[in-house]
């Protein structure tokens, strides 16, 4: 009886806190095999947008892995995942397999660069003051 109650409470807490994608190992689709990756990259180069979508979906696990390194920066994890996904999309769009690197290696670097650019931009804007802001406030 208690096991059922604890299981229900755990699932409710997981839904409330929205941590399912971090704690559940089945939340992301499995990565592509090297053969599948090669096939979808070729299809994308030939103009197949569905192949591009599959490449993005199957590499989301890589985004989550890279985001873990930047979880202590003060930015929300959901924001970091969104920014990292933009980096993944850019990586897939600009990847050139003739250079001899793997897509995951190239994509990880693009994801990191996108996150770092976002952090730098936010840091620059931290000291900005707008004309509408009050100069001083009585306490």
Q: Which of 9, 121, 22 is nearest to 78 (CA)?
A: 22
Statement: residue 19 has pLDDT above 50: no
- Residue found by looking up tokens 């994801």 in the block: 111
Statement: residue 67 has pLDDT above 70: yes
* pTM of the predicted structure, to 2 decimals: 0.72
pLDDT, tens digit (0-9, with 9 covering 90-100), for 96-108: 989 989 999 999 9
Q: How many whole angstroms separate alpha carbon 137 and alpha carbon 114?
A: 37
As a whole-number percent, the residues of the chain with pLDDT over 70 amount to 80
Statement: residue 11 has pLDDT above 90: no
pLDDT level of residue 138 (50, 70, 90 thresholds): low
Burial 34-64 (b: 16+ CB within 10 A, else e): eeebeebbebbeeeeeebbebbbebbbbbbb
Instruction: End-to-end CA distance of the chain: give it in Å, rounded.
Output: 55
- Residue found by looking up tokens 């897509």 in the block: 103
Length of the chain: 139
CATH classification of 32-123 is 1.10.3720.10, yes or no?
A: no
């Amino acid at each position: 009886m208690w096991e059922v109650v604890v299981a229900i409470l755990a699932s409710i807490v997981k839904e409330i806190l929205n941590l399912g994608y971090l704690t559940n190992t089945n939340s992301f689709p499995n990565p592509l095999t090297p053969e599948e990756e090669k096939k979808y990259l070729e299809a994308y180069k030939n103009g197949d947008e569905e192949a591009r979508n599959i490449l993005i979906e199957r590499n989301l696990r890589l985004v989550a892995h890279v985001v873990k390194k930047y979880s202590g920066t003060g930015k929300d994890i959901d924001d970091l995942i969104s920014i990292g996904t933009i980096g993944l999309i850019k990586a897939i769009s600009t990847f050139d397999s003739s250079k001899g690197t793997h897509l995951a290696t190239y994509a990880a670097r693009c994801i990191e660069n996108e996150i770092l650019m976002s952090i730098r931009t936010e840091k620059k804007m931290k000291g900005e003051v707008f004309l509408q802001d009050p100069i001083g406030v009585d306490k």
